[in-house]
Amino acid sequence: MPAAPSSDVPLFDDRALADPYPLYAQLRETGPAVYLTRYGVWAIPRHREAEAILHTPDTYGSEGGVALTEPANTRILAGTVLASDAEQHIRLRRVLSAQLAPRTMRRLVAVVTARAERLVEEHVADGGFDAAALARHMVCDTVMELMGLPEETRAYLLTGAAATFDVFGPDNERYQRALPVASRMVAFLHEAVTRDTVAPESWMGAIFQAVDDGRIEEKDAIPLASAYTAASMDTTILGITEAIAQLARHPQQFAWIRQDPTCATPAFHEALRLEAPIQGFGRMVTETADVDDTRLEAGEQVWLLYGSAGRDRLAWGPDADVFNVRRRRADRHLAFGGGPHLCAGIPLAELQARAVLRALAAQCTNLTTAGEPDRVLNNLLRGWERMPLAVKRASATPAMRAQADHP
């Protein structure tokens, strides 16, 4: 076999986190599996191989391999749906699936749509708004209600979730700062999420019901609850903010959504392809495997670069770096992962994004950038902390049109 390709790119330094794309291009050019000497892990930077690995869970396991450090894999992630394999994974995932299935989501359409219309109206009222604040408001209101946790836990959960994503990364300064916060979040969930505190008809209530029915064990309840708290908020907030920001930079494409609101979901997927909110996740190699010409041994780890896969010209063509709402099948991206661990929350993420983008398109004629945004810097998450935009309001808001239609 030829010598294995390797690279010493500082993938998790602040500069790289702010703009990883030149490094991703370098890695894709180097090979389909590139050994990252700084982190002791194989980067998988191209779409095709990353997708194939996601669909080969018997060779590339999640248990003990999702994060880059041992404390994160054993202390923070142990027992979670994300970091379990085979039968245990199926058992845990089944509890979440019922709550997140498309048919359950359909029951939420009216309330989520009404929330989006109201929040957009409030946020754009003065002609300028922060897209990240709008997305945060929308997602936190929706998810807190679904989770069934007391309102006072909201701020704590948001801080803890961002720290959890930092902890997935290598042992750098960011990781060191986040590890105690993420550990406290786990302890906090054990205290705050109990049969007495959660609403019965809620995601958390359904977890305790599954314990009581004998479908999962008591010890599985809190790790399973952490899947909701960590996975459902930042990801969707960043994805929706990015989609709005891209539409502000591409007025013609915002006009298309105004003409045809069915473009809203493709716009969301295109934003996720271009700027994956979770840039990468790991897997543990459980038996000798070849990625193209490169041999990987059991016990080694791969790092699936979802953010790089979305820019891979071999998969997306020469305009891979361009935002295009009309791109064919943009939803093939890997920003939601793939295979058995494919994001369980896609219908909910889509529902919220569609509602916000449609409400913006209905209520605003123009959307433009208005000042310098602030970036989130996190070992895993990518997106905007603050995204100031300006709008021109449409003369008739949806509420006004509804009144006109049904006087």
Q: Does 357 bind ligand HEM (CB under 6 A)?
A: no
User: Are 134 and 126 contacting, i.e. CB atoms less than 8 angstroms apart?
Assistant: no
Tell the smallest beta-carbon distance from residue 81 to ligand HEM (Å): 4
Closest to ligand HEM by CB, 147 vs 362, is 147
Q: Determine the size of the site formed for ligand HEM (CB under 6 A).
A: 27
Out of 61, 169, 337, 383, the residue judged to bind ligand HEM by CB under 6 A: 337
Helix axes 221-231, 173-192, angle to 10 degrees: 120
Out of 28, 93, 311, 358, the residue judged to bind ligand HEM by CB under 6 A: 93
Out of 228, 254, 316, 384, the residue judged to bind ligand HEM by CB under 6 A: 228
Q: Does 161 bind ligand HEM (CB under 6 A)?
A: no
Tell me the window of 6-14, 122-130, 344-352, 383-391 that interacts with ligand HEM (CB under 6 A).
344-352
Q: Does 266 bind ligand HEM (CB under 6 A)?
A: no
Q: Which tokens sit at 135? A: 């997305």
Nearest to 68 by CA among 172, 217, 158, 161: 172
Q: Between residue 67 and residue 86, which ones bind ligand HEM under the rule CB under 6 A? A: 81-82
Q: Does 168 bind ligand HEM (CB under 6 A)?
A: no
Residue of closest CB approach to ligand HEM: 345
Where b means 16+ CB within 10 Å and e means fewer, 61-82 reads bbbbbbbbbeebbeebbebbbb
| Three-class secondary structure of residue 81 per DSSP | coil
Q: Does 345 bind ligand HEM (CB under 6 A)?
A: yes
Distance of alpha carbon 120 from alpha carbon 143, whole angstroms? 18
In 148-172, alpha helices (H)? 154-167
Give 52's contacts (C-beta < 8 A, 6+ positions apart).
none
Nearest to 230 by CA among 62, 80, 400: 80
Q: Does 137 bind ligand HEM (CB under 6 A)?
A: no
Q: Does 231 bind ligand HEM (CB under 6 A)?
A: yes
Tell me the window of 120-128, 232-240, 242-250, 390-398 that interacts with ligand HEM (CB under 6 A).
232-240
Out of 148, 277, 310, 398, the residue judged to bind ligand HEM by CB under 6 A: 277
CA terminus-to-terminus distance, the chain: 75
Q: Does 134 bind ligand HEM (CB under 6 A)?
A: no
Q: Does 330 bind ligand HEM (CB under 6 A)?
A: no
Q: Does 303 bind ligand HEM (CB under 6 A)?
A: no
| Three-class secondary structure of residue 378 per DSSP | coil
Q: Does 273 bind ligand HEM (CB under 6 A)?
A: no
Where b means 16+ CB within 10 Å and e means fewer, 354-377 reads bbbbbbbbbbbebbeebeebebbe
Out of 153, 164, 172, 232, the residue judged to bind ligand HEM by CB under 6 A: 232
Residue 152: how many CA atoms within 13 Å on its side-chain side? 3
Q: Does 302 bind ligand HEM (CB under 6 A)?
A: no
Tell the smallest beta-carbon distance from residue 206 to ligand HEM (Å): 12
| Three-class secondary structure of residue 130 per DSSP | strand
Kindly list the residues in this chain that would bind ligand HEM in the complex (CB under 6 A).
62, 81-82, 93, 96, 100, 227-228, 231-232, 235-236, 239, 272, 277-278, 281, 306, 335-337, 341, 343-345, 348-349
